[in-house]
A and B are shown apart, each in its own frame.
Chain A
Amino acid sequence: MLAALNDSRFVTALHWRIWLCQVALLLLLTPAFTFWSQAIFALLLLAKLDQIYFNRPVWSLGRSNLLAAMVMAVLLIMSKQLGVIHLMFHFLLLASLLRLLSIRSDDLADYRQLLWVHYFLIASCFIVHQNLAIALCILTLLALQLQIQYFLFAGKISPIRWRKIAIVAIVFVPLFTGFFVFFPRLPPLWQLPGAKAAQTGLADDMSPGSIEQLVASDQLAFRVTFEDKRPKQSELYWRAKIYTEFDGKTWRSERPSRQTTPPIANGNWGYTVIVEPHQQRVLFSLGQTKVLQGPVRLTAHDLVRSLQDVTQRLSYQLTSTDTPLPDQSEKLAYLLLPLGNPQSRELGNELKKLPTTQLIVEALAARFRTNDYKYTLSPGTLSGDEIDQFIFQTKAGFCSHYAGATVFLLRAAGVPARVIGGYLGGNWQDEQNYLQVRQRDAHAWVEYFADGYWYRFDPTAVVAPDRLENGLDGVLADSELSLLQQTWVRNNNFTQLIISKLDDLDFYWSKWVIAFNDQQQNSLLQELKASWQQLSIMQIARILLITLAVGLILMMVRWWMQREKAEKPVQLFRKLQRLVDKAPNESYQQFLSRVALTYPNCADLCQQLSASYGAWVFGNDEVAGKQSWRLMRQLVKVVNKQQQLTG
């Protein structure tokens, strides 16, 4: 190996492959890096490229250490905003870049360290990305890394031997999948710092225009598979956040309380949710819920929260019923109103006169239905007494306006009410196998308290009932829709088909690979054990027989491949020897001359054959070999005919 490291071509080939690995790592870990650190890394990579192509000497350790110290100092200053994990990524990538720039060719230890750090960085890529497409890119990076390691220890560059890889894969792939399915898994041992990134999805505060902004994005929020029963489209109200406080402009979500609602016994619907990373702890559920599985917990008001920030795809299982939530706690917070909006207060006082809460709600609904209220994305800005302006003047708004105004009016009428932020509906994919909920399904609605229960009321359903069934597509004016569709990638039918197929693939990848945790493994093992116990004697016998048959076939194939084939000259003369006897002490050419004497009319055929046989066997002439076979066939025919004639 050391000799190979002295060969500059070998070293160059090795170095540019490692360089390619590092470029790929920089690109893959982009979400973890700031602009300046990426710039520094890119500069270092360019320096290495220059080193490779112009055969410059490697950097001295002193220089690379100095640079390392400088960059690390800068990073440590910025570390507060980076977070521990990202700092670690920076450090590792910096170390590997500098190591490649200063690698010494006389020692394998340098290369080993580099390869080790690269493996760690590849694992880090998996912390940042989990979707299928990028996972495949990371797999190719892993393949390149393996190739580098192979070349390094094999001592030379060789082309990829697919056949050998395939043979090794026969052993490797079952071993690997066996580990994945059967290797014991543990629940998380302790808490580790998560990778910090910007929060997405519903914010803690619902300020004017926030939901409108959210709806402009087509990003995936989460996906759901239902066990057997599927709710109707109009029942898919995914509760995420509760907004309690209103200051005249913004609704604030309430502080998470330590209380938990008692879980229900059993719900109508059982479902599994796979959430995209949004760096928050908020999760999604329908109605009254019980947690079946997953690192999540039920908090107050039947909301589901994750135990840790969701920094990577998370899967959890719930069972729910769409019934009103019972609540015995203090309701004062749900009656507070800020100053201002006198007209709405007036309206609320009038509504208070109605005997039951139900009538109040119906009156409000009737008001929205009959007074020309519009549902639009861009209602114009409101200021000052926003609720008054919305209800009495503009009469146009989006779900957050309607929900907020409804809650204000209800509170003014003495009914405890709150705004619920979440998602409405979703798209069924793959023949109703799973539901896709995107950011454009973000919604806000109302819950009011009456007779010990919280009931749901959606003002949007009153003003724009099509929203429930068709989402925003069926509700907004064309002009607004076209504005949105510029950010939604859903135009062409054909691309839509491909995209939806890729989405399906990504979903199943999430379900089976990403979400396969210890509980799922346990259930899989239980299933396997149960089905094993259920096997009858006949089935076992059948399986054994099939295995035996396959084994026998493989053994026969192997025997056939390995049997000793007679040497080619022997094969060539076999047929002729059946017709004419050959003495054991004769050479083949002597044999041919005797045949020529016995059967004079094929004399020159024998001579030609003798010549080409000699050229083939002793002169390694392949063309003569083919000719020999041809001549032999003719000779056999002639001799055969001769023998038949003579009887």
Chain B
Amino acid sequence: MWRWLAKRQPAARQVQLNQKILFIFPTGFGFSTLALTVLFYILGTNYQNNLILLLAFFLLALLLVCIGLSYLNLSGLILSTDKEQAGFVGESLDIPFQLDSIHKRLAVMAGFVDQPCILLTEPRSTLSLQLSHRGFFSTPRIKLSSDYPFGLIRTWCYVSLAQNYWAYPAPKRSLAPNIGNHGELTGDLAWHHLSSYLPGDPIKNIDWKKLARQPLQPVVKQYRPEAVDIDFWLELNDGPLEAELSRLCAEVLACEARQQSYGVRLPSLYLAPAHGPLHQQQVLEALALC
């Protein structure tokens, strides 16, 4: 069935719910109301009581009108993807997506297939996903369903958004002592940037040259620990792959916290040492795909 759905609605960045992808079927309550209608018809016919027949016709007409109303509640809703998310194996990741014109619609429930549903009320909503394997995945299909207005007819659809997410290996510091080169921090502090003087800053940090030019706006030099030139390389050592990847992930996070450059020498990727969010992302992605 998923193959048929995939042909009918391929993954897209933005999906508008229309007649092609929405399914409509009466709920259990709808069927019991239909049974009630038949019962009323029989009762009304036997008693020759037109008012009970009227009630039967009322319920029948209600069921038919509900089909239309239920469809209109979901039709036209536009689901679009948000930016890519990333998380670590073992955590749950919140995948956001955007909805258009959700305010006019009522009681729309959404959730990944076979996962608990949430009620949609805001234009931006998130659904959480439990990450169990590392890698680069696309989100499963989202099931949007609604029982509005009287709970008699249910409209639902399976939307596949072209939304991907990264699952990085779980960071786990290994207990074995670290093999591989570390960089030792020297005690030197290096100049980093300038900022306005705030009362309390040490006087000796003031940039005197600038002060001469702008007496009323003192500027202070800020320092930070010097990044060591020693290259810190991440490599796969012998051992179980997953454990190694976990260890490397932990190292990456630790280096990034220390603002230390680190390079990567992996079978799939060779990166010169650097640091920063972009570099971290590249490295983690490479680790995820290893």
Q: Do A and B come from one complex?
A: yes
Give chain A's interface residues, CB within 8 Å of chain B: 1, 3-4, 108, 112, 116, 119-120, 122-123, 126-127, 130, 135, 142, 146, 149-150, 152-156, 168, 171-172, 175-176, 179-180, 183, 185-192, 295, 312, 314, 513-517
Please, which residues of chain B bring their CB within 8 A of the CB of A130?
A: 49, 51
Q: Which residues, 129 to 160 on B, are CB-close (under 8 Å) to A?
A: 147-151
- Say yes or no: A154-B107 contact (C-beta < 8 A), given A175-B64, A179-B61: yes
Give chain B's interface residues, CB within 8 Å of chain A: 29, 32-33, 36, 40, 42-43, 45-55, 57-62, 64-65, 68-69, 106-107, 109, 119, 147-151
| Nearest chain B CB to A339 CB, angstrom units | 48
Q: How far is the CA of A517 from the CA of B47 in the complex (A)?
A: 11
Q: How far is the CA of A146 from the CA of B36 in the complex (A)?
A: 15
Residue with the highest number of chain A CB atoms closer than 10 Å, among B42, B51, B54, B62: B51
| Nearest chain B CB to A564 CB, angstrom units | 18
> Contact between A312 and B49 (Cβ–Cβ < 8 Å)?
yes
Please, which residues of chain B bring their CB within 8 A of the CB of A191?
A: 46
> Contact between B107 and A168 (Cβ–Cβ < 8 Å)?
no
| Nearest chain A CB to B56 CB, angstrom units | 8
Nearest neighbor of A175 in chain B, beta-carbon distance: B61
> Contact between A517 and B48 (Cβ–Cβ < 8 Å)?
yes
> Contact between A123 and B52 (Cβ–Cβ < 8 Å)?
yes
Residue with the highest number of chain A CB atoms closer than 10 Å, among B50, B54, B151: B50
Please, which residues of chain A bring their CB within 8 A of the CB of B62?
A: 146, 172
> Contact between A188 and B52 (Cβ–Cβ < 8 Å)?
no
- Listed from nearest, the 4 A-B pairs whose CB atoms lie closest are A153-B151, A126-B51, A179-B57, A176-B61
Q: How far is the CA of A156 from the CA of B103 in the complex (A)?
A: 13
> Contact between A153 and B147 (Cβ–Cβ < 8 Å)?
yes
> Contact between A295 and B148 (Cβ–Cβ < 8 Å)?
no
- Say yes or no: A120-B119 contact (C-beta < 8 A), given A135-B51, A149-B151, A152-B151: no
Which of B47, B59, B65 lies in contact with A119, CB distance below 8 A?
B59
> Contact between A155 and B151 (Cβ–Cβ < 8 Å)?
no
| Nearest chain B CB to A522 CB, angstrom units | 15
Nearest neighbor of B70 in chain A, beta-carbon distance: A153
Please, which residues of chain A bring their CB within 8 A of the CB of B48?
A: 188, 295, 312, 314, 517
Nearest neighbor of B51 in chain A, beta-carbon distance: A126
Q: How far is the CA of A381 from the CA of B119 in the complex (A)?
A: 80
Please, which residues of chain A bring their CB within 8 A of the CB of B43?
A: 123, 192
| Nearest chain A CB to B143 CB, angstrom units | 15
- Say yes or no: A189-B55 contact (C-beta < 8 A), given A119-B36, A150-B150, A154-B148: no
| Nearest chain A CB to B30 CB, angstrom units | 10
List 6 A–B pairs whose Cβ atoms lie within 8 Å, in order of A's numbering: A123-B40, A126-B49, A135-B51, A146-B150, A154-B107, A517-B48
Q: How far is the CA of A150 from the CA of B150 in the complex (A)?
A: 5
| Nearest chain B CB to A32 CB, angstrom units | 14
Nearest neighbor of A312 in chain B, beta-carbon distance: B49
| Nearest chain A CB to B102 CB, angstrom units | 13
Please, which residues of chain B bring their CB within 8 A of the CB of A185?
A: 45, 53
- Say yes or no: A171-B151 contact (C-beta < 8 A), given A127-B47, A513-B51: no
